[in-house]
Amino acid sequence: MKTTVVGSYPKPKWLKYVPEKDKLEAIKDAVRAVVKDQEVAGVEILSDGEVWRDEMTSYFANRIDGFVIYGEVRVWGNTYYPKPAIVDELRYRKPILLQEFEFLKKVTDRKVKVPITGAYTLVEWSFNEYYNSKEEAVYALAEILNEEVKRLVKAGADFIQIDEPAINSKDLEVVENAIEITLKGIKVYTALHICYNDYRKLFPEVMDLKVNQLDLEFANRKFEDLEILKEYSFDKDLGFGCIDVHSKRVESVEEIFKAIEKALEVVDSRKLYVDPDCGLKLLPRNIAFRKLKNMCEAVKIITFINEA
């Protein structure tokens, strides 16, 4: 089994105080810090913590022609986010994630993954004022992501993760087509990350999606959803979210160990990728680090026992 992360990691606090003229250098230093945290914690497949990205929708919308961002929209309570709107034909402008990926490869020798917000979620979380239907917008965007994934793979990326938190059982066919368009003509290991969703409604159809791995969140619901996977003889690689990213309580090594044992009843250890439920960005950095460290420690012990 392997250890990995979903994507985001708490940004170093000083980053927000850096003046604009020094921002690029500071972001690179922040990536180095975030990568070092993951390496010290023992994570095998790293990300750059999505340090470059301000937000998972607008970051993409800002870099694709056809989008504008009107301003902050209230999503819940006092949380606002810059909601993009599609106002023209979507077109590929320039590389979106290539710079991030190339820099990450320079600062670590470990294997890395590239998380990409999926076309379906990007459209669901934007206004569509141009295309006649949601499907049309999703497929146009998937073509653009395909162009980007091609560049990433050409630059050496070998693990692409598509994030589709907005996935909905009513639109599974649209998501399926979008994933096929996003990955067409590309040979690369792929995962689909889905979180805070009703898995009961997505199974078993979600297992037909053409990705190698489903990365799901289990800690948040006390691992009950493993039962669904058992019912449907889960046969893909499993990204096993076993760290609650909404809680500051640091899970003990023993607790994570027991959770992994449960996951091993569902999939073979060779098909298991142990990670947190979702991105860690909302946690204090020291807590995110300690959670990852305990997760990796638990994997080390269970691997040792299994091999003995």
The piece of 121-129, 195-203, 205-213, 261-269 that touches Zn ion (CB under 5 A) is 195-203
How many residues appear in the chain?
308
Residue closer to Zn ion, measured from CB, 157 or 167: 167
Of 278, 280, 288, 295, the residue at the interface with Zn ion (CB under 5 A) is 278
For residue 8, the minimal CB distance to Zn ion (Å) is 9
Count of residues that interact with Zn ion, criterion CB under 5 A: 2
Residue closer to Zn ion, measured from CB, 86 or 195: 195
Residue closer to Zn ion, measured from CB, 102 or 171: 171
The piece of 38-46, 107-115, 188-196, 249-257 that touches Zn ion (CB under 5 A) is 188-196
Residue closer to Zn ion, measured from CB, 260 or 278: 278
The piece of 34-42, 54-62, 114-122, 270-278 that touches Zn ion (CB under 5 A) is 270-278
How far is residue 22's CA from residue 189's CA, in Å, rounded to a whole number? Answer: 36
For residue 29, the minimal CB distance to Zn ion (Å) is 26
For residue 244, the minimal CB distance to Zn ion (Å) is 12
Query: How many other C-beta atoms can be found within 10 angstroms of the C-beta atom of residue 111?
Result: 14
How far is residue 34's CA from residue 40's CA, in Å, rounded to a whole number? Answer: 10
For residue 114, the minimal CB distance to Zn ion (Å) is 15
Is residue 56 a contact point for Zn ion (CB under 5 A)? Answer: no
- Contact map string, positions 148 to 187, toward Zn ion, x by CB under 5 A: ----------------------------------------
Q: Which of residues 6-35 bind Zn ion (CB under 5 A)?
A: none
How far is residue 216's CA from residue 230's CA, in Å, rounded to a whole number? Answer: 14
Residue closer to Zn ion, measured from CB, 66 or 241: 241
Residue closer to Zn ion, measured from CB, 2 or 281: 281
Instruction: Look at residues 255, 225, 189 and name the one whose alpha carbon lies nearest to residue 4.
Output: 189
Residue closer to Zn ion, measured from CB, 141 or 278: 278
Place of tokens 């793979």: 153
Is residue 43 a contact point for Zn ion (CB under 5 A)? Answer: no
Is residue 195 a contact point for Zn ion (CB under 5 A)? Answer: yes
Residue closer to Zn ion, measured from CB, 274 or 302: 274
What is the contact surface with Zn ion in residues (CB under 5 A)? Answer: 195, 278
